[in-house]
Amino acid sequence: MARLTNRVPAAPRRSAAAPRAGFGLIGPRRERHELTADQFEDLALPVGDDGVVVGTDAQGAPAVLGLVRPVPFDVVLVGGAWTAQVIALRTVGTGGRVAVESGRQQLWTALAQAANTGQQSITLHDVGRVPPQGPSVHSPVLVVRDCGVRPPLGRVRSAPWQSVLTLLPYPGPTTARLMERADLVGVQRVAPEEAVQIGRTMNLPQEDVEALSSLPDGVTLWCTRTSRTYVTTGPTDPEAGLLGAARRMD
């Protein structure tokens, strides 16, 4: 008499090439990629908001200036045209367009010619002659106003997907008003008495006021009334070939 058993018959062996219902062929076997909770910190990346990398901060991390925004954004830079030109060139590198309003277009001509390879990425306009730029999420615009220490009221203002950077070579009678209305202010090396004026407007602590008169070339204090950071801007090799070394005066 055959003896009963509780063993379940083994399933028939499948061919390695036989497809599994709904899953296709069995792929190669690899070890599972797993991390413990303590290892998650190793995945951290030194990135900030989307935007233009304008240099490195005091910790050596990339400093990113978010110029592409769905809301109007105004920037005032008290400094040299060299830094504004680097920002313009890197804005083009991120897919944006740049319109330069300037009374010294000869300073921007070489930059525009180098950037306009195949399309008009940087356009130059006389003061007060900037036409509507038609900014959009797919074609953001940066308007650079290089109109002297007392820039006139601009025809083209900040708008969604269109930021405006006003370049001031040094503080003047309208600087405090422009800073008060700006969303972000950048300050490079200025005279001690000018540093006091800027410090009062931007609510800077005394140590920052004192530092402003001795900043090296290429260093900018980017600030609002509640936060601030020092950023060092160094040129890439192509930028150095086109614009030269970092400098405060033009």
pLDDT tens digits in sequence order for the chain, 250 residues long: 444 444 544 544 544 455 444 444 444 454 555 556 665 455 443 334 578 999 999 999 999 999 999 999 999 999 999 999 999 999 999 999 999 999 999 999 999 999 987 788 999 999 999 999 999 999 999 999 999 999 998 889 999 999 999 999 999 999 999 999 999 999 999 999 999 999 999 999 999 999 999 999 999 999 999 999 999 999 999 999 999 999 999 8
Closest CA to 224 of 72, 74, 63: 74
Taking CA atoms, 112 is separated from 44, 88, 89, 192, in Å, by: 37, 10, 9, 35
CATH superfamily to which 54-243 belongs? P-loop containing nucleotide triphosphate hydrolases (3.40.50.300)
Q: Which backbone phi and psi does 107 adopt, to 5 degrees?
A: -75, -25
CB count within 10 Å of CB 7 equals 5
Sign of CA dihedral 79, 82, 86, 91: positive
pTM: 0.80
Give the tokens for residue 211.
């530092």
Domain boundaries, given as residue ranges, for the chain? 54-243
Closest CA to 74 of 131, 3, 142, 153: 142
Amino acid identity at 8 = V
Helix, coil or strand: residue 199:
helix
| pLDDT value at residue 25 | 45
| pLDDT value at residue 53 | 95
Amino acid identity at 20 = R
Characterize 120-133 residue by residue with b for buried, 16 or more Cβ atoms within 10 angstroms of its Cβ, and e for exposed: ebbbbbebeebeeb
Give the tokens for residue 250.
């033009």
